[in-house]
Structure 1
Amino acid sequence: MKMTKFLSLVVVLAFTVGPALSANLDIYPDPSQAKADLAAALKTAAATHKRVIVDFGGNWCGDCHVLDIYFHNTENRPILESNYVLVHVNVGRYDANLDLAQRYGIPLQKGVPALVVLSDKGKLVFSQKSGEFEKMGRMEPSSVTSFLVQWKPTKPGCSVTMVTC
């Protein structure tokens, strides 16, 4: 049963991830853009009262591509776009933007992708410590949905039981 599920996943990924990857191999911009991209994201977040997701990874990383696909699937895209500003930070081959990873407490030795969530004022809300997303190829899109819902900003007048705030 497990082998059947695995093979089914491989087939699905071959037809969905393959074309997506070939269309956009460069999710992560040049490492030198990270600080400017982060500053722009924080400015946008402050103006729109969204949180910032900082996604540390590299274009060579298959799991990073899967995470990006999951971020932008039909279920997650609306949650992402209405609550977050997404910034991709290129870590090169673990030799770039190490200062940003350290600033936000990201242990890159645990692998990428690694995520940070910042408030609209730039305050650290969440920092991935245990390599939770480094095996995205083995995870379901629902794990990204849970993450996005868990860390989205609380809107005034919303309660814990309201999911559509």
Structure 2
Amino acid sequence: MIARRWILLWVALAAACGDAEEAPAPSPPSGLEADPWTPMTEAALTARIEEARAEARASGRRVLLEFVATWCEDCREVVRLSHEDPARSTIEESYVVVYVEVGRFDRHRALIAEHHVDRIATLVVLDPETGRRVGRTTLEPITGGQRGLTSAALADWLRAPTPG
């Protein structure tokens, strides 16, 4: 009798669980909220850039590609500065951000070549209509010429990006 009750209970629970629909997986965060250190496949990155262009067109902003790598001190510093005001507010007002994790320059080689990325951290600004590069800079606040880079200086460049 006890075994029968357990079987009935198990069948009832299985039936109840079978009717439950799985919740769709949440979309990964995008923009400044995305994890810059998560590698993407070529297909995922291409799709993300197209999504960013569509979002930028709809909101009157531009696309900001941030070329980064986990091992890069300069990249970590630029990401940190981009999350501080005034750079953060400038980015949120003017850009849709896409992080491009390049590994050891062994990922996303076509995009690296297209935008002439030979060092990182490199920022590339894209026109959302054409996808063309309208601004580019390489920032090396730790190891190179921009030692002491501030969030304010980053925001200044973001307000008027120069072709590079």
TM-score by length of 2: 0.67
Unaligned stretches of 5+ in structure 1? Answer: 1-23, 153-165
Displacement of 1:139 in angstroms is 3.0
Tell me the percent identity.
26
Aligned partner of 2:112 in structure 1 is 101
Displacement of 1:115 in angstroms is 1.4
The equivalent position to 1:146 in structure 2, one of 132, 156, 161, is 156
Aligned partner of 1:51 in structure 2 is 62
Partner Cα distance (1:104, 1:54) in 2: 10
Displacement of 1:40 in angstroms is 1.3
- How many residues are paired up? 121
| Structure (1/2) with the larger helix percentage | 1
| 2:36 match: secondary structure | coil
Unaligned stretches of 5+ in structure 2? Answer: 1-32
Deviations 1:128-159 (A, max 9, x none): 3xxx30x222232132122111139xxxxxxx
Aligned partner of 1:78 in structure 2 is 89
Q: Is the 8 A contact 1:31 1:92 kept in 2?
A: no
Displacement of 1:77 in angstroms is 1.0
Q: State the Cα RMSD in Å.
A: 2.0
Runs of 4+ displaced beyond 4 Å: none
> Whose Rg is larger?
2
Look up the equivalent residue of 2:141 and give its one-letter code. M
